[in-house]
Amino acid sequence: MLSLFYAPGACSMAAHIVMEESGEAYQPQRMDLAKGDQKTAAYLKIHPLGRVPALALDDGSYLTENTAILPYLGQRFGLWPTDPLAQVRALSVIGFFATNVHPAFAHIRRPERYTEEASAHAGIQAVGQRMFLSHLQQIDAMYANREWLSGQYSVLDSYAWVFYVWGQRIGIPMSDLKNFTALKDRMLQRAAVQRVMADEGLSL
């Protein structure tokens, strides 16, 4: 049985949604980051960086990082493209989300990761805000004239959803992003998304 280590409102929400979509029994392992669950010796053996998500596999081994976990779950549960070209395009989207969109948000929420100079934090956050908004606009454009990024519902959409939630959290006027907001409306109609939002204590 799979076991998912996740934290409410974190990027692990994408994998959490996929697990709920799958209908497969799994063990949810809720992490309280404020209490330091991710810094325990036991968890650092699973994910040395002390971050979520992490996925315990059937054989007892682990996967970390959305760039590995989401393609694996997508292929396992039929939420991943089958055409070879569509697969590499999906990997490109996940790469963009993980290496551009997420780090921009981290500049806003975790400026201390990038400098020890407290006086520089405001500047880092300002740059992050501009970068994150620009990336949200890119995602909005990606959804123009399409319901789902890969043509049918997939792990890409659950990952994109995370950034809509984050944008709303920091006060970006997400309703201005019409295509992205249409995705939000579609996602909120899905029972798996509703369950995850309730479990993680989130609302839009």
Beta bridge partners of 56: 3, 62
Fold of the domain built from segment(s) 2-77: Glutaredoxin (3.40.30)
pLDDT digits 0-9 by tens, 180-204: 999 999 999 999 999 999 999 999 8
Fold of the domain built from segment(s) 84-189: Glutathione S-transferase Yfyf (Class Pi); Chain A, domain 2 (1.20.1050)
List the chain domain ranges: 2-77, 84-189
Beta bridge partners of 29: 5
List, in sequence order, the alpha helices (H) in 78-154.
Answer: 84-96, 102-109, 121-142
**Whole-model pTM?**
0.96
Cα distances (angstroms) measured from residue 186 to each of 43, 146, 164, 181, 193 = 35, 12, 13, 9, 10
Rg (CA), the chain: 17
pLDDT at res. 204: 87
Q: Which of 38, 42, 45 is nearest to 6 (CA)?
A: 38
Cα distances (angstroms) measured from residue 60 to each of 51, 52, 56, 63, 202 = 19, 17, 6, 10, 31
pLDDT digits 0-9 by tens, 143-177: 999 999 999 999 999 999 999 999 999 999 999 99
Asked if 108 contacts 128 with a C-beta cutoff of 8 angstroms, the reply is yes
Supply 166's token pair.
């984050």
Determine the Cα–Cα distance for residues 55 and 155; give it in Å rounded to an integer: 15
